[in-house]
Amino acid sequence: MSKHNNETMLQALGWKSSFRHVRSAQLAEPNRSVHRVTEVQRTGLIVAPSFDDERTDVPISGKWFQRSERERPTVGDWVVLDPTDGTLVEVLPRSSLLTRLSPSGNGSLQLIAANVDSAFVVTSCNADFSVPRLERYVSVILEAGIEPVIVLTKIDQTPDSDAYLAQLHSAFQTVACCALNALEPDTVSVLAPWCGAGQTIALLGSSGVGKSTIVNTLMGGEVQRTQAIREEDGKGRHTTTYRSAHILPQGAVILDSPGMREFQMAESSAGVAELFDDIEALAEACRFGDCAHNAEPGCAVQAALALGQLDERRLASYKKLKG
């Protein structure tokens, strides 16, 4: 592949001119090249562009698993490879990184996606809908310096989708919220502002809420397998079993991941503060700097609550996420 064609392909995969300063000294070595991780599987990575016009698989050696979780490659990473033997040389510095605590409960970190510009948090008009869970997602996304977008699906399956959307607008006053039928291209087109060339989107949410259907509709064909949700409890099976990337016709790269009904947050204090900036502003006026916003004298937060200027549910979520 010529240097020009390689640069064009990298740009199609989301490479930005602002990334040029992170190019490693390793690239000065002969036969070193930059690629993007498009899938993470148990046996290794899949990258694009291919590094010998055919091979795209990159095995992960044991030395990478000896590093901390944060240093290991994940979908969306830019990596340096040695095409002569197909080995991973280096993971380039990231512009952003989405993580969560492992659901195994052992306190380890699980990487979700790297080098992301915006994140679609997908929920649906049924039992899956949970504002507190969405607040956890959005806090982590904001912590990573990524723009969150809440996507409400299955609006065709309820007579009162406006009620769901009203809850979103009330809880997320500074976050974009979109309502759509994932099967209808006309309604999915509301996501167009985030799907332009050079943009990278992470797709998050529980199984069965329509993430794979959104990918298929944006792609204009079936590239991800889909499966219906159980409406009685809002749960669905995992139809996406590993993290993967797709280049949309609109030009963006979208990173899909397995459903995550449980989303245990890692470090997110800055994200929580940004999401609840109204409460943070009130707290600045409290009499005591260490006010817990319970029954302390001179608590501006409790005063706002008493005057009906602050929602009690919102304050409870803030306290829970602040931990």
Say which residue the tokens 């916003």 belong to.
293
Taking the C-alpha atoms of 14, 20, 142 and 257 in order, what is their torsion angle to the nearest 10 degrees?
Answer: 40
**pLDDT the model gives residue 233:** 44
What's the rounded Cα separation, in Å, for the pair 279 and 318? 8
107-134 pLDDT, tens digit per residue, is 678 889 999 999 999 999 998 899 999 9
Phi and psi, residue 51, nearest 5°: -100, 0
Phi and psi, residue 283, nearest 5°: -60, -30
**pLDDT the model gives residue 29:** 67
**pLDDT the model gives residue 86:** 81
**pLDDT the model gives residue 159:** 92
**Which parts of 78-167 are beta strand (E)?**
78-82, 87-91, 97-101, 109-114, 118-124, 147-153
**pLDDT the model gives residue 229:** 46
Show the domains of the chain with their CATH numbers. Answer: 3-91 (2.40.50), 97-256 (3.40.50.300), 276-322 (1.10.40.50)
What's the rounded Cα separation, in Å, for the pair 282 and 318? 13
**pLDDT the model gives residue 263:** 58
**pLDDT the model gives residue 155:** 96
Q: Which amino acid is it at 275? A: L
Question: Taking each helix axis from N to C terminus, what angle separates 312-322 and 131-143, rounded to the nearest 10 degrees?
Answer: 50
**pLDDT the model gives residue 66:** 85
4-47 pLDDT, tens digit per residue, is 567 788 889 999 876 666 655 556 666 788 899 998 887 789 99
In tens digits, what is the pLDDT along the chain, a chain of 323 residues? 555 567 788 889 999 876 666 655 556 666 788 899 998 887 789 999 876 666 688 888 888 888 888 999 999 999 998 877 888 989 999 999 999 887 666 667 888 999 999 999 999 999 889 999 999 999 999 999 999 999 999 999 999 999 999 999 999 999 999 999 999 999 999 999 999 999 999 999 988 899 989 999 999 876 655 444 444 444 444 444 456 788 999 999 999 876 555 556 667 789 999 999 999 999 999 999 999 999 899 999 999 999 999 999 999 999 999 87
What's the rounded Cα separation, in Å, for the pair 169 and 150? 10
For the entire predicted model, the pTM comes to: 0.85
What's the rounded Cα separation, in Å, for the pair 128 and 259? 12
**pLDDT the model gives residue 234:** 46
Cα Rg of the chain, angstroms: 21
**pLDDT the model gives residue 3:** 56
**pLDDT the model gives residue 248:** 94
Is 247 in contact with 220 (CB distance < 8 Å)? no
